Amino acid sequence: MNYCKVFLKPKKEESLLRFHPWVFSGAIHHIEGHPAEGESVEVYAPDGRFLGIGHYQIGSIAVRILSFTPQPVDAALWTKRIQTAYDLRQTLGLAGVPDNDTYRLVHGEGDNLPGLVIDMYAHTAVMQAHSAGMHIARHEIAEALKNVLGARLKNIYYKSEATLPYKANLGAEDGYLYGNEVEDIACENGLKFYVDWQKGQKTGFFVDQRENRALLERYAKGRSVLNMFCYTGGFSFYAMRGGAALVHSVDSSAKAIALTTKNVELNFPGDSRHEAYAEDAFKYLERMGNKYDLIILDPPAFAKHKDVLRNALQGYRKLNAIAFEKIKPGGILFTFSCSQVVSKENFRLAVFSAAAQSSRKIRILHQLTQPADHPVNIYHPEGEYLKGLVLYVE
Ligand code: SAH
């Protein structure tokens, strides 16, 4: 196949020579040919050296590199990459084990598949394209998934309406590429939950908190737990298994609360330790009193773009300040930020200033991040997005 050729401006080849997988539109000198949105293109240095091949797109990131050596972007490439990703999840003890069938199979740049996310829930793959190129390749990728997973795979649900650049007018529609089962029960560390990939947020479940939930379980015994921003209740049922005295789950979304209640019931039928409230976080935190000695704050991304960073940091400070003010002496706070534009340092600073405001003695017990099935490509540090602190409040 003949690919269009993208030539870079002088010096703009440097980041690609260090294997960073993005070409920004401002780095392009000229293009030979007229690539369509999502078409694969070859990228060259000003001196004509081959740099990589990847998906072209109109926008700030103009090319997402799929390979730094010359090779066609075809079915064989998808199968090889997905096989490599699957092998890693087996090495991690997440795939093909009895008490866990929930994991991220493909984490974009972290699996050398920029623009593609695939989460596995039992025998369903939920696939999300963040680039036009991955959208166009979705059927080929679905075939590759079937090749790699074989009989373990029964459904592929494609969910990209909200993640694709709408200006590209790709006509993306959410729906099944394979199979058609609507609801599925998945299992994480031996705990069960319903996943609603059609109506739920993201791909249906926040897979990235698995290890942090397991850590929480270790601290839960005898404690009064508040799971703020609970979504489907993940942290709540780990706390219950860990022996919490009571667990209160709060989320502003009534649908999330309904799912949490259903999931708690699935794991702990009739257990009166759990209560769930559909309420705004700040309202609940103001009225809740000081009964909790284990609090989880896992808010949605406060900043999706750099220009709102300042407001986001204020948001984290305010949220954490209320928790420091109200948590019982000897309490433990699990606090998170999943905003990619908020750095580890900035998040820590926001939590530090909240701590200082409370004048309480506070120690850092753990510094948390995303789990290994959300790997960070060493050449693409932007892939690190989840940050968490576990704090002991005297
Ligand atoms: N901790 C969850 C994931 C949290 S996602 C887990 O382990 O799965 C963030 C959640 O915050 C979403 O469910 C969203 O509905 C909720 N949310 C957003 N704004 C909120 C607000 N102002 N008050 C309470 N919940 C809110």
Contact by Cβ (8 Å): 343, 307? no
237 lines ligand 1 (CB under 6 A): no
Sheet holding 61-67, edge to edge: 22-24, 61-67, 50-56, 40-44, 4-8, 28-32
In this structure, the dihedral spanned by the alpha carbons of residues 381, 385, 386 and 387, taken in order and rounded to 10 degrees, is: 70
Contact by Cβ (8 Å): 113, 83? no
Ligand 1 atom closest to 213 (CA): 7
119 lines ligand 1 (CB under 6 A): no
Strand partners, 363: 392
Contact by Cβ (8 Å): 244, 136? no
Tokens of 117: 């996310």
Q: Which residue's CA is minimally distant from atom 15 of ligand 1?
A: 253
Kindly state the average pLDDT of the residues 238-267. Answer: 97
> How much is the pLDDT for 16?
97
Model confidence, pTM: 0.95
Ligand 1 atom closest to 227 (CA): 1
> How much is the pLDDT for 250?
98
**pLDDT one-digit tens code per residue, 298-334:** 999 887 777 788 889 999 999 999 999 999 999 999 9
300 lines ligand 1 (CB under 6 A): yes
Residue type for position 319:
L
Mean pLDDT of the chain: 95
**pLDDT one-digit tens code per residue, 94-110:** 998 989 999 999 999 99
> How much is the pLDDT for 207?
95
CA 60, CA 22: separation in Å to the nearest integer?
10
188 lines ligand 1 (CB under 6 A): no
> How much is the pLDDT for 307?
76
283 lines ligand 1 (CB under 6 A): no
> How much is the pLDDT for 167?
64
Kindly state the average pLDDT of the residues 151-155. Answer: 94
CA of 232 to the centre of ligand 1 (A): 9
Strand partners, 337: 387
Tokens of 56: 């072209």
Active site residue 338: yes
Contact by Cβ (8 Å): 187, 102? yes
Residue 220 C-beta-side C-alpha neighbours within 13 Å: 26
CA of 281 to the centre of ligand 1 (A): 9
Q: Quote the percentage of the chain above a pLDDT of 70.
A: 99
> How much is the pLDDT for 171?
76
CA of 166 to the centre of ligand 1 (A): 25
pLDDT at 11 over 80: yes
pLDDT at 336 over 70: yes
CA of 229 to the centre of ligand 1 (A): 4
CA of 25 to the centre of ligand 1 (A): 35
40 lines ligand 1 (CB under 6 A): no
Kindly state the average pLDDT of the residues 53-64. Answer: 96
Tokens of 300: 């949605």
Q: Which of 197, 235, 251 to mutate to test the pocket of ligand 1 (most atoms within 8 A of CB)?
A: 251
Q: How many CB atoms lie within 10 A of CB 332?
A: 22
Kindly state the average pLDDT of the residues 237-260. Answer: 97
If you compute the radius of gyration of the chain from its CA atoms, what whole number of angstroms results? 22
Kindly state the average pLDDT of the residues 285-296. Answer: 96
Q: How many residues in the chain?
A: 394
The pLDDT-based confidence of 9 (bands split at 50, 70, 90) is very high
**pLDDT one-digit tens code per residue, 109-143:** 999 999 999 999 999 999 999 999 999 999 999 99
Kindly tell me the burial class for residue 138, based on how many C-beta atoms sit within 10 Å of its own C-beta (0-12, 13-18, 19 or more). Answer: middle
Q: Which 8-state DSSP code applies to residue 364? A: E
CA of 233 to the centre of ligand 1 (A): 10
Kindly state the average pLDDT of the residues 17-36. Answer: 97
Tokens of 13: 């080849």
Q: Quote the percentage of the chain above a pLDDT of 90.
A: 87
> How much is the pLDDT for 319?
97
Q: Which residue's CA is minimally distant from atom 3 of ligand 1?
A: 231
**pLDDT one-digit tens code per residue, 159-195:** 998 888 766 677 778 999 999 987 679 999 999 999 9
Q: Which residue's CA is minimally distant from atom 11 of ligand 1?
A: 229
Contact by Cβ (8 Å): 89, 118? no
Q: Residue 64's closest CA among 127, 8, 108?
A: 108
